[in-house]
Chain A
Amino acid sequence: MNPSAPVLIDVSNLTKAYGGRIVLDDISIQVHEGEVLAIIGTSGCGKSTLLRLMCGLDTPDAGDIHLYDPNYSMVFQYSALFDSLTVFENVAFSLMEESDDAPKGGPLKPKLSDPEIIALVKEKLHLVGLDGIEMRYPNELSGGMQKRVSFARAIVSNPRIIFYDEPTAGLDPIASTVIENYILTLRDQLGAASVVVTHQHSTIHRTADRVCLLHGGQVRWLGTPDELEVSDNPYALQFATSSLIGPMTGDLV
């Protein structure tokens, strides 16, 4: 990561509570162009909530979120495919529908011709290892296949800011590697700023430039994946060693 690269995602003093229970407490994070930030933490610590806030699906109780590129996208934890559309229509969705929040000065994405769209969708589906399923419906796919279609749908318009909510959870190791490689491709070719929520060791180590450990609504540790392995921060230590002894045990047992 290049620290002088411009900031694309700027989160400052973010707070969110559900029904009086504080989930995120005064969080500030910046992600630069060409950087992958991994967010880790125990289940239920607010990782998905943070992503939802960052892409505007929920409103924060306090704090600011700025995205400095309008072309953002997200891979949902549970796929969220349009179940009345075919796989092709799902992946082609953002290419065929005009954008409603394009900033002044033109549409978000170039208008493509039908053959171009078909070729692009085929290419992205091939990339995630799903050939020849264009005409199937999401409910005819396995969970892992849905996840990969959802990945293809999110990246088809070459977003410059992208949020991944557990993109490799539930995938076989080979499919995981394919996804991880593509996260790096987007980073290197487009200078995309990515936020990857993950529990998976391989995803953290293959993709992340920085790792942010969330617990109790706060950022407890921030560093590179290699530092995570050797850190003596009690949170990082417990996460890296999967130990039952440590500050994050209370929630689990």
Chain B
Amino acid sequence: MKYKRLQHYPHVDGTHYGPALLPYTQAIYELLRRRLNKAFFQIGLSVEITGDILRYIAQGKLQWRHVFPQMSFVGVTTLGIALIVSTFAAMVIALQVATEMARQGASSYVGALVSLAMLRELGPIMTAVAVVAMAGSAYTAELSTMQITKQIDALRVLHVDPIRYLIMPRVVAAVLAMPLLTIITCTSGIVGGMAISQWLADIPWYTFLDSVWQQTEPKDIWTALFKSAIFGYTISILSTTIGLSTQGGAKEVGTATTRAVVWCFVSVALMDYFITFLVYGSE
């Protein structure tokens, strides 16, 4: 009888190339090809690992005692930065438009403008930026260090799947924590915009809030929450799989972390476009 052993995830291997005919074209072509290979490899791995995570959740193997510490890690490390960037972003919008709109007699629309900008775009995006910078990069650095110091191998020989033990709690935590963070940052942004409008354009806070209540629809809130959950998933799955598939030494930990940050930003931008297109594109 043969027992199934924990699957070993392959790495992209170094490829050897023949003599170059057209040195520069060839070099650029090879670079692109390698980049694309790597991209497809990483995407494929992420999809595969997502499948494993869903399977473990369906089997009831999600352990909250591993999820909660990760949620508090994401929340605690990110909240400060997320609050600062998103509140200032909202205040900048108020700064740009409040005075002018008040002069045009449109004071009662400033609140709606700030609130919609926050919920539809800035809140989720600014929170995602903070989560990538604080939590995503930490995930990649941690997992890639565990990989090159053979701690991932040690997990496997102790019969524990690194996907269940390391990746699943981080992904679930990010998916749950990001919407909560977004609610907090949006609220804080709206309060910041309100303060700026009152201070610079003499728009009373009750007019501002009234405008927020009038124009904000439940759909905007649901979309903001959904978007943040998707961002949380994208950031955590990419940063953890990039970490897990790192090979080499200290230098590779550095490049993996950088790569994860870049990948996360690009994917968040793409996801943002698609979700916005799906939800608001037909209006």
Interface residues of A (CB under 8 A from B): 19, 52, 55-59, 66-68, 70, 72-74, 76, 78, 80-84, 93-94, 97-103, 108, 153-154
What per-residue 1/0 map shows which CB atoms of B142-185 lie under 8 Å from chain A? 10001001110111111111001100000000000000000000
Given A19-B14, A80-B151 in contact, is the A94-B8 Cβ separation under 8 Å? no
Q: With a CB–CB cut-off of 8 A, which chain A residues contact B153?
A: 52, 57, 76, 80
Q: How many A-B residue pairs have CB under 8 A?
A: 75
Q: With a CB–CB cut-off of 8 A, which chain A residues contact B164?
A: 100
Cβ-defined contact, B6 with A101, below 8 A: yes
Given A68-B1, A100-B6 in contact, is the A57-B156 Cβ separation under 8 Å? yes
Q: Cα distance A74–B154 when bound, in Å? A: 8
Q: With a CB–CB cut-off of 8 A, which chain B residues contact A154?
A: 157
Q: Cα distance A201–B146 when bound, in Å? A: 33
Cβ-defined contact, B158 with A93, below 8 A: yes
Q: Cα distance A173–B1 when bound, in Å? A: 40
* B:2-21 near A, CB below 8 Å: 2-6, 8, 13-14
Q: Cα distance A67–B157 when bound, in Å? A: 13
Q: Closest residue of chain B to A75, judged by CB?
A: B157
Cβ-defined contact, A56 with B154, below 8 A: no
Cβ-defined contact, B6 with A56, below 8 A: yes
Q: With a CB–CB cut-off of 8 A, which chain A residues contact B142?
A: 84
Cβ-defined contact, B4 with A101, below 8 A: yes
Q: With a CB–CB cut-off of 8 A, which chain A residues contact B155?
A: 82
14 A-B contacts, Cβ less than 8 Å apart?
A52-B153, A57-B8, A57-B153, A68-B1, A78-B149, A80-B151, A80-B154, A82-B151, A82-B154, A83-B151, A94-B158, A94-B159, A94-B160, A101-B4
Q: Cα distance A80–B155 when bound, in Å? A: 9
Cβ-defined contact, B149 with A100, below 8 A: no
Interface residues of B (CB under 8 A from A): 1-6, 8, 13-14, 61, 142, 146, 149-151, 153-161, 164-165
Cβ-defined contact, A67 with B3, below 8 A: yes
Q: Closest residue of chain A to B14, judged by CB?
A: A19
Q: Cα distance A52–B153 when bound, in Å? A: 9
Q: Cα distance A108–B8 when bound, in Å? A: 20
Cβ-defined contact, B5 with A56, below 8 A: yes
Cβ-defined contact, B151 with A99, below 8 A: no
Given A58-B8, A59-B8, A70-B3 in contact, is the A97-B160 Cβ separation under 8 Å? yes
Q: Cα distance A73–B165 when bound, in Å? A: 18
With A76-B150, A80-B153, A83-B149 given, name 5 new contacts (CB 8 A): A19-B14, A93-B158, A98-B61, A99-B159, A103-B1
Main secondary structure of the interface of A (DSSP, over half): loop
Cβ-defined contact, A73 with B158, below 8 A: yes
Q: Cα distance A102–B5 when bound, in Å? A: 9
Q: Cα distance A69–B91 when bound, in Å? A: 64
Q: Which of A68, A74, A78, A108 contacts B157 (CB 8 A)?
A: A74
Q: Which of A59, A80, A82, A103 contacts B3 (CB 8 A)?
A: A103
Q: Closest residue of chain B to A73, judged by CB?
A: B157
Given A19-B14, A67-B3, A103-B3 in contact, is the A108-B150 Cβ separation under 8 Å? no
Q: With a CB–CB cut-off of 8 A, which chain A residues contact B165?
A: 97
Q: How far is the CB of A197 from chain B (nearest CB, A)?
A: 15
Q: How far is the CB of B19 from chain A (nearest CB, A)?
A: 18
3 closest A-B pairs (Cβ-Cβ)?
A56-B5, A99-B159, A100-B161
Q: Closest residue of chain A to B154, judged by CB?
A: A80
Q: Cα distance A10–B151 when bound, in Å? A: 26
Q: Cα distance A103–B164 when bound, in Å? A: 17
Q: With a CB–CB cut-off of 8 A, which chain A residues contact B149?
A: 78, 80, 83
Q: Closest residue of chain A to B159, judged by CB?
A: A99
Q: Cα distance A154–B153 when bound, in Å? A: 13
Q: How far is the CB of A101 from chain B (nearest CB, A)?
A: 5
Q: Cα distance A84–B155 when bound, in Å? A: 13
Q: How far is the CB of B148 from chain A (nearest CB, A)?
A: 11
Q: Closest residue of chain B to A100, judged by CB?
A: B161
Q: With a CB–CB cut-off of 8 A, which chain B residues contact A108?
A: 159
Q: Cα distance A52–B164 when bound, in Å? A: 21
Q: Cα distance A198–B156 when bound, in Å? A: 23
Q: With a CB–CB cut-off of 8 A, which chain A residues contact B158?
A: 73, 93-94, 97, 153
Q: Closest residue of chain A to B161, judged by CB?
A: A100
Q: Cα distance A72–B149 when bound, in Å? A: 21
Q: How far is the CB of B253 from chain A (nearest CB, A)?
A: 14
Q: With a CB–CB cut-off of 8 A, which chain A residues contact B157?
A: 55, 57, 72-74, 154
Cβ-defined contact, A101 with B3, below 8 A: yes
Cβ-defined contact, B151 with A101, below 8 A: no
Q: How far is the CB of A68 from chain B (nearest CB, A)?
A: 7
Q: With a CB–CB cut-off of 8 A, which chain B residues contact A58?
A: 8
Q: With a CB–CB cut-off of 8 A, which chain B residues contact A82?
A: 146, 151, 154-155
Q: Cα distance A93–B166 when bound, in Å? A: 14
